[in-house]
Amino acid sequence: MAASLRHSTLFTTVCRQLNSTLWLNVGGRSIHSSAVCCKNRAARIRVGKGDRPVTYEQALHPHQIAHRKGWLSQHTSNLQGEDGAADRTVEDLFIRRLIYGTFHGCLADELVIKRRGNLLVICALMLQKLPPHKYYFLVGYTEELLSHFYKCPVKMEIQMLEEKSVYKYL
C-alpha cells in the first residue's frame, strides 16, 4: 500500500513537471535558452537621437563596401597569385595610426592609401585647425619619416576643408 502510494505521488509529480514543460501553466514559467547570436558592431554608428553628424564613410556600414562605398586602401596584393597582402595591410595600419597621431584633431575623414607601383600615396582630408606652415612641416616630416621607414617614395596629397562634410544626422 505504502509502496503504491509512493509510486502514485511520484507519478503525479512527474506528470505535473511534464505538464509544466508542455503547456504554460498558470504561474509556471520556464527558462528558454538558445545559442548566443550577437549583433554585428563593426564600424557601425547606431541610429540615435538625430543630433550627431556623421560623414558618408561613417554612415554606411561595412557590408556596403563594393555596393555604395569604395575601398580606403588600394594595392595589387589581394589579386590572384600576388604576394604581400599581409605586409601591405600592416603598413596601412601603421600609416593610419601615425597620421592620426601626427595630425591629431585635424583629420576630417579616413585616410585613403594608394600604391602606384613603388610609390605610396596618402590622401587625406584635413580641417583648418593649424596655420599652413605647420601643415607643410608635418606633411614633409611624415613623408620623410615614412619613406625612410618603408624604403619607398611616399607622397601625401592633402585637401583642406572648413568643416567635416556631413552626410546625415544619426
Site residues for other proteins, window 33-72 (CB under 8 A)?
55-57, 60, 64, 68-72
Greatest distance between any 2 Cα atoms in the chain? 102
Which region, judged by CB under 8 A, interacts with other proteins, from 10-18, 31-39, 42-50, 160-168?
160-168
- The answer to whether residue 96 forms part of the interface with other proteins (CB under 8 A) is no
CB of 104 to other proteins, least distance (A): 16
Cell of 95: 600609416
Which region, judged by CB under 8 A, interacts with other proteins, from 16-24, 27-35, 39-47, 150-158?
150-158
- The answer to whether residue 74 forms part of the interface with other proteins (CB under 8 A) is yes
Q: How many CA atoms within 13 Å lie on the side-chain side of 30?
A: 11
Q: How far is CA 130 from CA 1, 112, 134, 141, 157, in A?
A: 96, 21, 6, 15, 17
Q: How far is CA 168 from CA 30, 55, 74, 164, in A?
A: 45, 7, 27, 12
Contact 123, 111 (CB under 8 A): yes
- The answer to whether residue 168 forms part of the interface with other proteins (CB under 8 A) is yes
Interacting residues of 87 by C-beta distance below 8 A, sequence separation 6+: 77
Residue type, 67: H
- Residue from 21, 48, 82, 144 touching other proteins (CB under 8 A): that is 82
The smaller minimum CB distance to other proteins, of residues 11 and 169, is found at 169
Provide the binding-site residues for other proteins, judged by CB under 8 A.
55-57, 60, 64, 68-72, 74-77, 82-84, 87-88, 108-110, 112, 114-118, 121, 123, 125, 128, 131-133, 135-136, 139, 150-152, 155-165, 167-168
